[in-house]
Amino acid sequence: MTVIQWFPGHMAKALRLVKEKLNLVDIVLELVDARLPESSRNPQLEQLLETKPHIMVLTKKDMADPNVTARWLRYYESKGIPAVAVDSQHGQLSAIEKKINVVLKDKLALRESKGIIQQRVKVMCIGIPNVGKSTLLNHLVNKNVAITGNRPGVTKAQQWLKAGKLMSLLDTPGILWPKFEDQEIGKRLALTGAIKDSLYAKDDIALYGLEHFKQTNPKALQEKYKLTDEQMQLSNVDLLLELTKKMGFKEDYDRASERIIFDIRQSKLGRYTLEIPQLGGE
């Protein structure tokens, strides 16, 4: 897991680097986590991308609730943002190529009419740490690229990597910071491992996870931890204490919290999505 401390100086530098690279490309792949698409967007990127064609790529679709992912895709498309969901660990080239062909239709047609069919579309990936940029890049170019410079402040010469027949990908993805300002967003980011574990109280995040599963998939929670119907009625705090005992951690609910967070992150309670699109946008 990439660990980055986002100090204001780093943020300014990261933004400057991304702005510089934007000038080099025809289109941007904005990577967000399908389990929390809005929360895992960088707060300043939307504005930055107003003048650049871009595609929203919902990563880790294999871990997210497929019905909610379908709703998110409709939601973004309805806002005029082309969107596609991928499992970055597997080849997703054709799904992304298809989208690029749609988004850049006019540009590609113009190039073709001028006889410039050989020219590849220049693409870069942007996203917060841990969203799956390196994984996707590696699979798109179909080899293990040592992605260095994958941190703000580390620079090196740009390289272009061929992906399929259509794309040239910038080898260094753009990294921007996640949203910090909102408690709820922070909890979602923490539960999925998008921000450093030391930035939050473990029990708060475990309680948030327990509440989420109680609301959306109580059966998975009950089965995973072999809970009785009575135990399922407990308040979240009492349930955490009960689970602590059940797990053999006596009164160490921090350790139990860690275990619960781990289980959720590893999809041990099944697929899940922590936020659904706001009504009206669909």
Q: Which residues bind ligand GDP (CB under 6 A)?
A: 2, 59-60, 62-63, 87-89, 127, 129-135
The answer to whether 105 and 126 have CB atoms below 8 angstroms apart is no
- Closer of 139 and 207 to ligand GDP (Cβ): 139
The least CB distance from residue 219 to ligand GDP, in Å, is: 22
Of 188, 170, 171, nearest to 179 (Cα)? Answer: 188
The least CB distance from residue 140 to ligand GDP, in Å, is: 12
The least CB distance from residue 32 to ligand GDP, in Å, is: 11
The least CB distance from residue 172 to ligand GDP, in Å, is: 11
In the chain, what are the helix, strand and coil shares in percent, each to the nearest 5? Answer: 45, 10, 45
* Angle, CA 36 vertex, CA 212 and CA 227 arms, to 5°: 20
- For 203, half-sphere exposure in the C-beta direction (CA atoms, 13 angstrom radius) is 12
Cβ neighbours of 23 (radius 10 Å): 7
- Closer of 119 and 262 to ligand GDP (Cβ): 262
Could you tell me the two tokens for 231? Answer: 């135990």
The least CB distance from residue 149 to ligand GDP, in Å, is: 12
Give the whole-angstrom CA distance, residue 252 versus residue 247: 10
**DSSP sequence for 66-96:** HHHHHHHHHHHHHTT--EEE--TTS--HHHH
The answer to whether 163 and 142 have CB atoms below 8 angstroms apart is yes
- Closer of 168 and 192 to ligand GDP (Cβ): 192
User: How many H-runs (helices) and E-runs (strands) does the chain carry?
Assistant: 12, 7
The least CB distance from residue 235 to ligand GDP, in Å, is: 32
Q: Residue 181's Cα: distance from chain center in Å?
A: 18
- Closer of 39 and 130 to ligand GDP (Cβ): 130
- Closer of 17 and 227 to ligand GDP (Cβ): 17
The least CB distance from residue 244 to ligand GDP, in Å, is: 28
- Closer of 2 and 217 to ligand GDP (Cβ): 2
Alpha helices in the chain (DSSP H): 8-22, 45-48, 66-78, 93-103, 105-113, 133-141, 183-191, 202-216, 218-224, 229-232, 236-246, 253-265
- Closer of 132 and 186 to ligand GDP (Cβ): 132
When CB distances to ligand GDP are compared, the closest residue is: 132
